[in-house]
Amino acid sequence: MKKLLAFVVCGMLVGCEYNVQLVKTPELGIDSVAVGLWQRSKEDGQKESLLVLPLNKQEYMVSFPAGSKDAMFARACLCRTADMTLVQLEWIGAAQGGIPENNRVFQFATYSVAGDTITVRMLNADVVKKDVKSTAELAKAIADNKDKPDIFRDKMVFTKVKN
């Protein structure tokens, strides 16, 4: 039951949406400016944290919302498709010990870092449908929709936490 609850939370928080990946083996190096602890204030005044750590030269370990009882963990890597660099997230577990029970563990995002802020936008599954069957079909769906203003969801803006 706890596993189910953890992944219902995953669906609500991060929307584990896709069952196919864009890349099987990471080829791009990590972007070190994205590494660190980032925080934002939610509408209710609560703080929400995003932790991005280097796992190796080509992958990250991501936790969101980091430090919370509902934290989710993902392996992430950069990938290129449709002339865009995206972050491919593969959600692998939860702080309460849950693991994914279905194959909808992939999510994709774009980000930009300016000074001490990182802006993250998740791929919008209402525009790039989540029922794609293959990597090639996902890449084509992204390319076909890349010029739509709502291809990504609303911005999440985090500020880097200083030591």
Per-residue pLDDT of the chain (163 residues; tens, 9 = 90+): 333 333 334 443 445 789 999 999 999 999 999 999 999 998 898 999 999 999 999 999 999 999 999 899 999 999 999 999 999 999 998 888 776 677 789 999 999 999 999 999 999 999 999 999 999 999 999 999 999 999 999 999 999 998 7
Which residue type, as a one-letter code, is found at position 130?
A: K
Which residue type, as a one-letter code, is found at position 83?
A: D
Pairing of strands 106-114, 117-122: antiparallel
Cα 11 from Cα 63, distance rounded (Å): 15
